[in-house]
Structure 1
C-alpha cells in the first residue's frame, strides 16, 4: 500500500527514465501518505490510443469521476 498504476499511450522509456519516474512518484507518495518507500509500488500500463476511450477514458475517467483528484481537459 499504496500502488500506482499509470495508464498511458505507448512510450519507450529507458531504464534510467523509468527509475527517475519511480523515484519521483515514490517521493510524492511517501510524503502524502506517510509510508515508507518500501510500501510503494508503481506500474506502467501502455494503452494504445485507438482503444483509450473505451478502455480508460470511459470506464475510469467519466465512469468514476468521484475517484479523480485531477480531471483531464481533453
Structure 2
C-alpha cells in the first residue's frame, strides 16, 4: 500500500547504510500509518544534480507544493 520514493543527489551508499535507511523509513511509515511492513515499498532514486530542477524540483516540489509536509529551506 504505501510507496516511498526517495530522490537524492548520488552519494555512495554501502549495503549497510542502505539497509539502515530502508529500515528507518519502513519503521516510520509502519508506525505512522498503522500498516504491516510487508505492504510498504521503498525506492531509492539517485538524480544527478544537473537534472534535479527538471526531474524533481519543478514537477514534484513546485508543482505539487500542496502535498509537501516539509518544505526545503534554501
Common fold: TM-score over 0.5 = yes
Q: Give the alignment's TM-score, normalised by structure 1.
A: 0.96
| Partner residue in 1 for 2:45 | 45
Say how many residue pairs are matched. Answer: 74
SS in 2 for 1:11: coil
RMSD: 0.6
C-alpha distance in 1 between matches for 2:55 and 2:26: 26
* 1:1-74 paired onto structure 2 within 5 Å: 1-74=1-74
Q: Give the alignment's TM-score, normalised by structure 2.
A: 0.96
C-alpha distance in 1 between matches for 2:34 and 2:48: 34
C-alpha distance in 1 between matches for 2:55 and 2:16: 29
